[in-house]
């Protein structure tokens, strides 16, 4: 499974990239707004930090403008994945950009039917939002299971399932068990994967025992 971090905070991205576990980045207009920086500048900087896909979202809703914005975003760096909404115009944009060799992330997916459309439009990634479904009393992970199952039936589909709206470590673990290709999560959630009380307890005991020896490695 590939790990993407869902943020526009370049300091967070650099910190996670240093672990060697970061495969890409996803952003959206809300995250860019929080950064307080210019959109294109932030995307360009992120693309220099990570070699993997960096999702940058169009802001228009109509096909012509989305396509223009998508081409401009794709021109920033080779690892930009243009992010478009799962609408008719969004999928038209996806098809045009994909045919031109640009990576496309189709976002705001909430049903298996939508995921099929994204794959047929040539999306590089489709982003089902599990947390938002959970919020309204629907099982978000069932959506991931359904999409993965459907995609496996059709080898011609090259679209990767990018699990989004992740709220905690269990969303990540369950996604991995189901065979999702990618998960994107806030830095705070990714860092929770490191944590376990028994690891902390064991390390504390090792440190205490080592201190009693009075020795030093250096």
Q: Which residue of the set 72, 83, 177, 212 is catalytic?
A: 83
Give me the domain span that covers residue 176.
Answer: 2-213
Q: Packing angle between helix 63-74 and helix 88-99, nearest 10 degrees?
A: 40
In tens, the pLDDT along 51-110 reads 999 999 999 999 999 999 999 999 999 999 999 999 999 999 999 999 999 999 999 999
In a domain, 218, yes or no: no
Local confidence band at 35 (pLDDT 50, 70, 90 cut-offs): confident
Taking the C-alpha atoms of residue 85 and residue 94, their distance in angstroms, rounded to an integer, is 9
In a domain, 189, yes or no: yes
The total domain count for the chain is 1
Whether 114 has a pLDDT exceeding 90, the answer reads: yes
Q: Is 38 a catalytic residue?
A: no
Instruction: Identify the CATH number of the domain in which residue 48 sits.
Output: 3.20.20.70
Q: Degrees (nearest 5) of the Cα angle 75, 77, 82? A: 70
In a domain, 121, yes or no: yes
Whether 30 has a pLDDT exceeding 90, the answer reads: no
In a domain, 43, yes or no: yes
In tens, the pLDDT along 152-180 reads 999 999 999 999 999 999 999 999 999 99
């Amino acid at each position: 499974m590939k790990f993407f971090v869902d943020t526009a905070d370049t300091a967070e991205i650099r910190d996670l990239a240093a672990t060697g576990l970061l495969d890409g980045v996803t952003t959206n207009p809300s995250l860019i707004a929080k950064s307080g920086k210019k959109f294109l500048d932030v995307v360009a900087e992120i693309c220099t930090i990570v070699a993997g896909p960096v999702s940058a979202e169009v802001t228009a809703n109509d096909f012509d403008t989305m396509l223009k914005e998508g081409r401009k975003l794709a021109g920033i760096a080779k690892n930009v994945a243009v992010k478009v909404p799962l609408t008719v115009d969004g999928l038209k944009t996806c098809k045009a950009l994909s045919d031109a060799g640009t990576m496309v992330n189709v976002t705001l997916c909430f049903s298996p039917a939508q995921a099929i459309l994204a794959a047929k439009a040539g999306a590089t990634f489709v982003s089902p939002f599990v947390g938002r479904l959970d919020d309204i009393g629907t099982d978000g992970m069932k959506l991931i299971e359904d999409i993965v199952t459907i995609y496996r039936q059709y080898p011609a589909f090259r679209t990767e399932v990018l699990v989004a709206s992740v709220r905690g470590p269990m969303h990540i673990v369950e996604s991995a068990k189901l065979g999702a290709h990618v998960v994107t999560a806030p830095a705070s959630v990714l860092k929770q994967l490191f944590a376990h009380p028994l690891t902390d307890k064991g390390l504390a005991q090792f440190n205490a025992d080592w201190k009693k020896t009075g020795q030093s490695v250096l």
